[in-house]
Amino acid sequence: MEVKVSVDGVPRVVCGITEQTTCQEVVIALAQAMSQPGRYTLREKFKDFERCMTPNERLLETLEKYGEQGKEVQLTLIHNGPSEPDEMREREKKKKKSLPKI
């Protein structure tokens, strides 16, 4: 199966989704396709209801709960910031800049 996910306002199609596919796997596939590391969340929106999906949540299982209206659910990839290794590198750079020179 395939699902549409909005990434920076552009609809992207993710193929090969199975009953076992988790939100985390979809997020990783999209982030790798964009070549942009970082922290991401998959947001589910249906009419006035909106929430961030959990990493281990099975995507199709969640969408199936909507029945016929599942096609109306909007999925969006949200960038939450840099990945931990990126943050650690930035902290190290700041530490080096603030150290006294010898």
User: pLDDT digit string (tens) for 75-94?
Assistant: 999 998 877 655 555 555 55
Task: Give the per-residue SS3 of 23-79.
Answer: HHHHHHHHHHHHCCCCEEEEEEEECCEEEECCCCCEHHHHHHCCHHHHHHCEEEEEE
> What was the pLDDT predicted at 89?
58
Identify the bridge partners of residue 46 per DSSP, sorted by sequence position.
49
Indicate if the pLDDT at residue 96 is higher than 70.
Answer: no
All domains of the chain in start order, with CATH: 3-98 (3.10.20.90)
pLDDT of residue 71: 87
